[in-house]
Structure 1
Amino acid sequence: MIQWDMMTRYIVDLIDILIVSYIIYRMLVLLRGTRAVQLLQGVFVLIIFWLVSKFMHLSTVRWLIQNLFSVGLLAVIIIFQPELRKALEQLGRGGIFFNRRRQFQHKLVTRITTEISKAAAHLSKRQIGALIVIERETGLSDYIETGILLEARLTSELLKNIFLPNTPLHDGAVIIRDGQIMAAGCYLPLSENPFISKELGTRHRAGLGLSEISDAVIVIVSEETGTISVVTHGRIERGFTEEQLNLRLLRELKKPAKNRNRLGTFLLRKEKEGTADE
């Protein structure tokens, strides 16, 4: 009887640990790619300092850090109010525990890829530069806030008009979420990779920079050459036609998250020899 009670207790403790671990994991996924990542890094640094001060008996430093933690909770609520609101909204939809938000339906994926491919081909023929971002699991709200909020239905005609030269929104990136153009004229972080080809301009560096910190799919049209490129996971593939771009985006948005990078690159190389992968 005692052994049975102990076994039951172990099972309950294991379930408890697994539930807490999964909640922490989903929260980290939710915060990835937002300003809260820097906050977590700062918290870890303070915890390390607190442990060192406790080990070395630095009472003043320990007192200071403990007071920072007590006051910092209110500051976090004020500063990161948008992220907290987003987390509560996803909790209400089950988005923290069940990853449903980025599970695109077949019809939606087809519409997204078709509209983007048509617009990219049109802009490519006229050598009009474009930077189009498709949000997936990593939240891009921080970058959406840097642009002009649209929340408009995604159409190729709207994309063409946004990137027309000398229009208010042609500079910067368009960010797409769930088949909607959330914002235009958005600023993206530039990649600091020293091995990027010198022939790539600011649009390509911005696309690479965002892909290095998120799982977004980025479509770039070069203003100088009209070349269409796709950027994922810090890698750029160039030289797409409209049909090839449509197939590439379909494959990228439909396949499982674990196999997105390697499988997509392998199939693309087999299917299209003319694409240069940098």
Structure 2
Amino acid sequence: MQTLRNIFINIRIQDIIDILIVALVFYKLFMLIRETRAEQLTKGIFALFVFTKVSEWLKLYTINWLLKQIVTVGTLAILIVFQPELRRALEYLGRSRFFTKSFVEIKDETISQVVDEIVEAVASLSRQKIGALIVIERKTGLNEIIETGTIIDGKVSSDLLINIFIPNTPLHDGAVIIREDIIKAAGCFLPLTDNMSLSKDLGTRHRAALGISEKSDGLAIVVSEETGAISIAENGSLARYLDAKTLKQILMDTYKPKETKQTFITKWRRKDEQRKGK
């Protein structure tokens, strides 16, 4: 008890801040690898360290030597195996407000027009059950994704968006990337999500939308080819079965962001839970 008392007496404000920062870093790292392959690998690495210590305590010298060699070589292997997660963590840091510029600098009337055109196109595609995938670029640049498709550089219009996704046309299978009020490219390839717990009902478009939302702060809009349902993906989360009115509000908030801690997905899920509760 005397030892514990001395520890608490000697704790400084700097020590508390230090502990809180370390705890926050570990929490953020856990959130980054949660529900990915890296989560299982992390558990395996932790078990390896435990076995190393246990073999040392039990004086199992041969096993302990082998485990230490594995840990030494494994340091390099970790960098290779965790490359996607390390890249994701660095991108997360790069998207912080300190390093990023403002999202868009276009006039309010232009924003309203762009949103109306997107909503009209998505609603039309939904009624016709034509599959579509539209990504709206925010602070994170998507030039790598744009380069995988065909450059359009045209003003956002519902007619152009609908024509792009008409079946059996050259660009209908890929994603459309929108930057501010310009359709930058179509037929783009997106990275698929690593989330293994997704419903089997979700197809490639939904997985691609989640994938790009995990690797950037972009907002992805998906129209299901089977059901015509409208979904959005943001920050690695998916909200499904949206109507045109909700989609319009989300897009307006995207182009004119407000200071809020809640994402669109969080709000929608909360409303959905309230409806189910009633």
Q: After the TM superposition, which residues 105-116 of structure 1 pair with which residues of structure 2 at under 5 Å, given as runs? A: 110=111, 113-114=115-116, 116=118
Q: What displacement does 1:132 show? A: 3.0
Measure the CA separation in 2 of the matches of 1:152 and 1:9: 61
The residue type paired with residue 199 of structure 2 is: N
Q: Does structure 2 conserve the Cα–Cα contact (< 8 Å) formed by 1:175 and 1:186?
A: no
Q: Which moved more, 1:223-232 or 1:120-129?
A: 223-232
Partner of residue 167 from structure 2, selected from 161, 165, 168: 165
> Distance between the aligned counterparts of 2:265 and 2:246, measured in 1?
17
Q: What residue in structure 1 maps to residue 156 of structure 2?
A: 156
Q: Distance in 1 between matches of 2:199 and 2:150?
A: 32
Name 2:13's counterpart in structure 1. 11
Separation of aligned partners in 1, 2:266 and 2:115 = 20
Q: Which residue of 167, 170, 189 maps to 1:185?
A: 189
The residue that corresponds to 1:44 in the other structure is: 43
Separation (CA, whole Å) in 2 of partners of 1:49 and 1:187: 31
- If the length of structure 1 is used for normalisation, what is the TM-score? 0.58
Q: How many residues align?
A: 250
AA aligned to 2:49 is W
Q: TM-score, normalised by structure 2?
A: 0.58
3-state SS, counterpart of residue 219 of structure 1: strand
Structure 1 position 263 matched with structure 2 position 267: yes
Q: Give the secondary structure class of the aligned counterpart of 1:220.
A: strand
Give me the CA root mean square deviation. Answer: 5.3
- Distance (whole Å) between structure 1 residues aligned to residue 198 and residue 92 of structure 2: 33
Does the 8 Å CA contact 1:119/1:156 hold for their aligned counterparts? no
C-alpha deviation, 1:249, in angstroms: 3.3
CA distance in structure 2 between the aligned counterparts of 1:102 and 1:211, rounded to whole angstroms: 20
Alpha-carbon distance in 2 for matches of 1:187, 1:88: 17
Identical aligned pairs, as a percentage?
A: 32
Contact 2:106 2:180 in 1 (8 A): no
Give ranges in structure 2 of 5+ residues lacking alignment.
1-7
Larger radius of gyration: 2
1:229-244 aligned at under 5 Å gives the runs 229-230=231-232, 233-238=237-242, 240-241=243-244, 243-244=245-246
Task: State whether residues 219 and 229 of structure 1, in contact with CA within 8 Å, keep that contact through their aligned partners in structure 2.
Answer: yes
C-alpha spacing 1:47/1:262, structure 2 compared with 1 (3 Å) = closer
- Give the direction of change, closer, same or farther, for the CA distance of 1:217–1:55 in structure 2 (3 Å limit): same
Task: Give the match's secondary structure for 1:44.
Answer: helix
Q: Which residue of 2 aligns with 1:247?
A: 249
In 2, are the aligned partners of 1:203 and 1:220 still within 8 Å (CA)?
Answer: no
C-alpha distance 19-192 of structure 1, shift in aligned 2 (>3 A): closer
1:220 CA displacement: 2.4
- Range with bigger deviation, 44-53 or 253-262: 253-262
Runs (5+) with no aligned partner, structure 1? 1-5
- Does the C-alpha gap of structure 1 residues 258 and 228 become closer, same or farther in structure 2, counting only changes over 3 Å? closer
**Aligned residues of 1:127 and 1:226 also touching (Cα < 8 A):** yes
